[in-house]
């Protein structure tokens, strides 16, 4: 059984409520969960709209697993890509998908109800507002397909939480075994690196939109994967020297990408493990993108310390990854990332406050939030070595 470590569970913390407030909460909870409450709320014109909205939200949660399988089916049948060229009839789609019109119509109508598709005429379907971004982005489609692994692991979520099953997700990520060479199976490394490279576009947009990289001389991306981020950065900022550090087989893929993009003279990839090898020096900005959340606190502490040591005084670390407790509509990411990282086996979703504490403990003097357009999947923190 996993040990009880509430302080490190990445969960929201709240101040203790005064006694009167707890009494009031108790009354409200009892009233709202009483058998007569729903009848009263739906029968009252003032509360009806709230009740309808909450019922729809609860239905979304209950049926969410069906909705995500509708999305997955659309991706597997290449429906969304096919409709990028324009609307198509049921007959044409049924030939393309090699499925009877009656069966396919069930999927198409479900997809219309989820706004993945749109009905453009009798038996004619086009892209819906939520299907269009999926049709546009291969990285998103790969992530949706990859989520089938997590879906399998969440078949018995209670067993997953109790640590009673071996999640398939752990086998997908070979570095979860630490940094021992036998775990660096080349085909597995290539598979996850490809997924990361194609899904990285959204994070790259966040980084480029939110921070001024022109103030730096040399940027090193630690755990940089196949080098998509460093390549994009090099293409946007012609003055920058660039380095990447990752496990040796991944660094080799990154070096090949640099050469292919004409960045060989400015960008170099260094193979090693941040668990056991020192990091290259010379960079005045280190980026750490979607790396810390994969690892337990002890590894993250050691990694942040190693980055601190590799930086000159005044040097910066820009950390980008999903973080817990985003507000408003962005908070829906929490449930997904909490379970994704649980199934992965060793990391956890941390709040900005927890990451700030880890950064301060590693020696960084100033740590601040950097606002970015889409906190749903990525948030940014900037730390400076004083
Ligand atoms: C989730 S991927 C993120 C890759 C890339 N930064 C991105 O956002 O697409 C984590 C990266 O950390 C690398 N990594 C994991 N353990 C490592 C270790 N011990 N030393 C160096 N790199 C490691 C992996 O090979 C992988 O490329």
The position carrying tokens 């730096």 is 216
Whole-number average pLDDT of the chain = 92
The ligand 1 atom at the shortest distance from the C-alpha of residue 221 is 6
Backbone angles phi, psi at 217, to 5 degrees: -105, -45
Exposure on the CB side of residue 356, measured as CA atoms within 13 A: 12
pLDDT confidence of residue 8:
52
Question: Do 272 and 253 meet the contact criterion of CB atoms below 8 Å apart?
Answer: no
58-77 pLDDT, tens digit each: 999 999 999 999 999 999 99
Domain 29-135 has CATH 1.10.10.10: yes
Q: In the predicted model, is pLDDT for residue 55 greater than 70?
A: yes
Instruction: Name the one residue in this structure whose structure tokens are 């067993």.
Output: 159
Q: What local confidence, expressed as pLDDT, does residue 69 receive?
A: 97
Domain boundaries, the chain: 29-135, 159-384
The yes-or-no verdict on residue 183 having pLDDT over 60 is no
How close is the Cα of 50 to the center of ligand 1, in Å? Answer: 44
Which residue has tokens 């040796």?
248
CB atoms within 10 A of CB 54: 13
pLDDT digits (tens, 9 = 90+) for 354-374: 999 999 999 999 999 999 999
> What's the whole-number mean pLDDT along residues 137-149?
94
Please check the confidence at residue 182 and state whether its pLDDT lies above 70: no
CA of 67 to the centre of ligand 1 (A): 31
pLDDT for position 159: 97
Question: pLDDT confidence of 12, banded at 50, 70, 90?
Answer: low
319 within 8 A of 355, measured Cβ to Cβ: yes
Q: Is 290 in the pocket of ligand 1 (CB under 6 A)?
A: yes
Return the percentage of the chain with pLDDT > 70, whole number. Answer: 94
Neighbour tally for 178: CB within 10 Å: 12
Tell me what pLDDT residue 194 has.
84
Task: State how far the alpha carbon of 223 is from the alpha carbons of 56, 196, 227, 260, 324, in Å.
Answer: 41, 11, 9, 20, 21
| CA 337 to ligand 1 center in whole angstroms | 17
Looking from the CA of residue 225, the nearest atom of ligand 1 is 27
CA pair distance 181, 225, nearest whole angstrom: 17
Q: What is the CB neighbour count within 10 angstroms for residue 56?
A: 9
Token pair recorded at residue 221: 């991306």
**Dihedral of alpha carbons 291, 293, 294, 297, sign:** positive
Phi, psi for 369 (deg, rounded to 5): -75, 145
Quote the ligand 1 centre to 224 CA distance (angstroms).
6
Q: Which atom of ligand 1 is nearest to the CA of 203?
A: 8
**Among protein residues, the one whose CA lies closest to atom 16 of ligand 1:** 175
Q: Are strands 267-271 and 124-127 parallel, antiparallel or unpaired?
A: unpaired
Query: Ligand 1 pocket, 246 CB below 6 A?
Result: yes
Assess whether the C-beta atom of 224 lies below 6 angstroms from ligand 1: yes
Task: Give pLDDT, residue 10.
Answer: 52
* Cβ 251 under 6 angstroms from ligand 1: no
What pLDDT is recorded for position 3?
A: 41
376 and 330 in contact (C-beta within 8 Å)? Answer: yes
pLDDT band at 329 (very low <50, low <70, confident <90, very high): confident
Above 60 in pLDDT, residue 7? Answer: no
Side-by-side strand order, sheet with 379-384: 267-271, 241-246, 218-222, 285-289, 316-321, 379-384, 366-370
Q: Are 122 and 70 in contact (CB under 8 A)?
A: no
Q: Is residue 177 over pLDDT 70?
A: no
Q: What is the predicted pLDDT for the residue at 349? A: 96
Ligand 1 atom closest to residue 226's alpha carbon, by position in its atom list: 27
| CA gap 374, 293 in Å, rounded | 18
User: Tell me, what DSSP letter sits at residue 130?
Assistant: T
- Pick from 156-170, 181-195, 209-223: least confident: 181-195
* Residue 260 burial (C-beta neighbours within 10 Å; 0-12, 13-18, 19+): exposed
Each residue's pLDDT tens digit, 126-142: 999 999 999 999 999 99
The pTM for the full model equals 0.88
Q: Which of 178, 182, 197, 223, when mutated, tests ligand 1's pocket best, judged by the most ligand atoms within 8 Å of its CB?
A: 223
Ligand 1 centroid to Cα of residue 189, in Å, is 10
CA 25 – ligand 1 centroid, Å: 45
To the question of domain 159-384 being in CATH 3.30.1490.20, the answer is: no
Q: Confirm if 253 and 227 have CB atoms less than 8 A apart.
A: yes
């Amino acid at each position: 059984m996993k040990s009880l470590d509430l302080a490190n569970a990445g969960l929201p913390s709240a101040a203790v409520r005064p006694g009167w407030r707890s009494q009031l909460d108790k009354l409200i909870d009892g009233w709202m969960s009483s058998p007569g409450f729903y009848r009263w709320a739906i029968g009252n014109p003032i509360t009806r709209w709230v009740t309808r909205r909450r019922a729809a939200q609860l239905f979304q949660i209950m049926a969410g697993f069906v909705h995500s399988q509708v999305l997955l089916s659309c991706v597997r049948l290449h429906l969304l890509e096919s409709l990028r060229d324009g609307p198509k009839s049921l007959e044409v789609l049924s030939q393309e998908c090699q499925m009877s019109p009656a069966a396919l119509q069930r999927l198409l109508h479900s997809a219309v109800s989820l706004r993945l598709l749109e009905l453009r005429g009798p038996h004619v379907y086009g892209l819906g507002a939520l299907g269009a971004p999926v049709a546009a982005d291969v990285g998103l489609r790969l992530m949706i397909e990859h989520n089938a692994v997590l879906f399998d692991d969440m078949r018995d979520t209670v067993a997953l939480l109790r640590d009673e099953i071996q999640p398939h997700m752990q086998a997908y990520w070979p570095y979860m075994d630490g940094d021992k060479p036998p775990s660096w199976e080349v085909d597995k490394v290539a598979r996850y690196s490809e997924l990361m490279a194609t899904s990285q576009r959204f994070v790259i947009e966040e980084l480029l939109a939110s921070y001024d990289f022109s103030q730096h001389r040399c940027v090193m991306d630690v755990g940089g994967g196949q080098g998509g981020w460093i390549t994009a950065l090099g293409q946007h900022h012609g003055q920058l020297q660039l380095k990447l550090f990752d496990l040796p087989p991944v660094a080799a893929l990154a070096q090949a990408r640099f050469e292919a993009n004409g960045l060989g003279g400015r960008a170099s990839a260094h193979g090693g493990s941040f668990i056991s090898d020192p990091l290259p020096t010379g960079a005045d900005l280190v980026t750490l993108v979607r790396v810390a959340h994969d690892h337990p606190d002890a590894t993250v502490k050691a990694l942040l310390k190693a980055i601190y040591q590799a930086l000159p005084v005044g040097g910066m670390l820009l950390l980008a990854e999903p973080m817990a407790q985003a507000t408003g509509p962005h908070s829906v990411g929490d449930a997904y990332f909490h379970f994704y990282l649980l199934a992965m086996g060793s990391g956890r979703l941390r709040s900005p406050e927890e990451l700030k504490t880890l950064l301060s403990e590693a020696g960084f003097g100033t740590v601040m939030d950097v606002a970015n357009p889409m906190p749903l999947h990525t948030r940014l923190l900037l730390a400076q070595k004083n």
